[in-house]
Amino acid sequence: MGESVLTPAVIRAFPLSIVPHSDPRIRVSDSILAAVLSDSLPCFEPATVPLLVHELRLWGRAANFSSSMVATERTGDYILETLLDDDLCRARTYKEGTPFLLPSAYGVHVVQSDSRDARGSTRAEYHTGQLAAVLGLAGVAGEADVRCSGGKLATVKDIIANLVMRHSNDDEAEFIATAFALWIPGNQQWHDRFGQMHSFDKIASKLVGIPFGDGACGGTHVPYAVALTLYKNSVEPTISDDIAVKCANYLSAVSRVLERTQLSSGGWDENWPGSSVASGLYGGNALDMLNITGHHLEWITLAPREVRPHPSVINDAILAVGEYLRELPPHEDRSFKTLLPVSYAARALCSLRGEDPYQSWVRLWKSGVYSDDPRWVDAPKGRRSFSFEPEG
């Protein structure tokens, strides 16, 4: 018999477009929306790669922050150019560090923070597949230009192709699943560089087998990946019927747990599964609860109504976001990492209203709603940017 032929995945020219599920029973007020968007504004300069990744994830390519809105001008195109050009990334992000985009035999390799390629640099993605997923959420074209370290020219598709061929079963399945759901059409099966076969059925089966609470951000990225897989399956055949039932049952089970473990404040902490002692991710109780609550609210926006928590539970969690924002320290006392969890809550609340975050901010900015909101005290007009210094 001849050698088996490796079959790489077909990659979309444009990523899957997502329209969150609406529910008129869910209420997000302008005041809470203004508070969370205001606390997510770009304000650290120079930025780190993780910060820019989260800014692009929230604000998108169309963002155009003027100096009257924030102390430094920032556009979505500026963020995208920085993340997709290694020379610009070195010039614009914090201090010296390792390259971010490396040429690979399979395309473009994105440096991951805990790998030997990063060597402790902040010029890296936190999770394998994170940049690919964010580029998908931002609607970046697969043929968009990429410039690697050393000047090699490539495209966004090459980032996805490298991820398809090089990812392993040790990588965080939730981030891989999110990236592939956005970039790989249909219900394909494909092989990696070692000839191992992969499919959405196999990935989804792994996701629903992860214990509640395991994984990044208190395990909240797992239900997001499951919800996105179900969403993709509703648009185009992606997983088998029995796996789709398992995914729906998984989200229903998460929702029932959230209904039981909801805190008196309305949100959740890392102990949301109810089986362990909560331990903070960011070193602040309000920020940790904001992180977990915002992440849960975001996957809920993608899930069908029948597998979500009860609307009253969701509405209480939205109010909790406002309370947690009120407890955060003044902007000048915050780490750049504060913006990361806040940005998830901001994207979730905008999605629950069916609104684009940047357009929502412009509307609130022009109307002056932000200035009357009691949940924050630093008016964005004329606010200064803050220098980034890593902890420790």
Of the two residues 185 and 276, the one the predictor is more confident about is 185
DSSP character at residue 279: -
Say what the pLDDT of residue 230 is: 98
Of the two residues 333 and 143, the one the predictor is more confident about is 143
Rounded to the nearest integer, the mean pLDDT of the chain is 88
Contact indicator for 213, 161 with CB cutoff of 8 Å: no
Q: Is the pLDDT score of 2 beyond 80?
A: no
Of the candidates 350, 361, 232, 250, the one whose C-alpha atom is nearest the C-alpha of residue 301 is: 350
Q: Is the pLDDT score of 368 beyond 80?
A: no
Of the two residues 2 and 217, the one the predictor is more confident about is 217
Most confidently predicted of 142-146, 194-198, 384-388? 142-146
Backbone angles phi, psi at 75, to 5 degrees: -120, 160
Q: Is the pLDDT score of 376 beyond 50?
A: no
The average pLDDT across 191-208 equals 94
The average pLDDT across 30-53 equals 89
Q: Please state whether 213 falls in left (phi above 0), alpha (psi between -120 and 50) or beta.
A: left
Q: Is the pLDDT score of 26 beyond 70?
A: yes
Q: Are strands 74-75 and 189-191 parallel, antiparallel or unpaired?
A: unpaired
pTM over 0.75, yes/no? yes
The average pLDDT across 19-37 equals 93
- The CB-side HSE value for 186 (13 A sphere, CA atoms) comes to 7
Of the two residues 70 and 223, the one the predictor is more confident about is 223
**For residue range 302-344, what is the model confidence (pLDDT) as tens digits?**
999 999 999 999 999 999 999 999 898 877 677 777 889 999 9
Whether the CA torsion 374, 379, 380, 381 is positive or negative: it is positive
**For residue range 246-278, what is the model confidence (pLDDT) as tens digits?**
999 999 999 999 999 999 999 999 999 997 655
**Which of these ranges, 6-10, 76-80, 202-206, has the smallest mean pLDDT?**
6-10
Q: Is the pLDDT score of 5 beyond 70?
A: no
Of the two residues 241 and 369, the one the predictor is more confident about is 241
Q: Is the pLDDT score of 279 beyond 60?
A: no
> pLDDT class for 164, splitting at 50, 70, 90?
very high
Say what the pLDDT of residue 98 is: 85
Most confidently predicted of 116-125, 254-263, 282-291? 254-263
Task: Report percent pLDDT > 70 for the chain.
Answer: 88
Say what the pLDDT of residue 280 is: 59
Q: Is the pLDDT score of 170 beyond 90?
A: no
**For residue range 90-99, what is the model confidence (pLDDT) as tens digits?**
999 987 678 9
**Which of these ranges, 6-15, 114-123, 167-176, 249-258, has the smallest mean pLDDT?**
114-123
Say what the pLDDT of residue 66 is: 83
Q: Is the pLDDT score of 370 beyond 70?
A: no
Say what the pLDDT of residue 8 is: 80
The average pLDDT across 112-139 equals 86
> pLDDT class for 391, splitting at 50, 70, 90?
very low
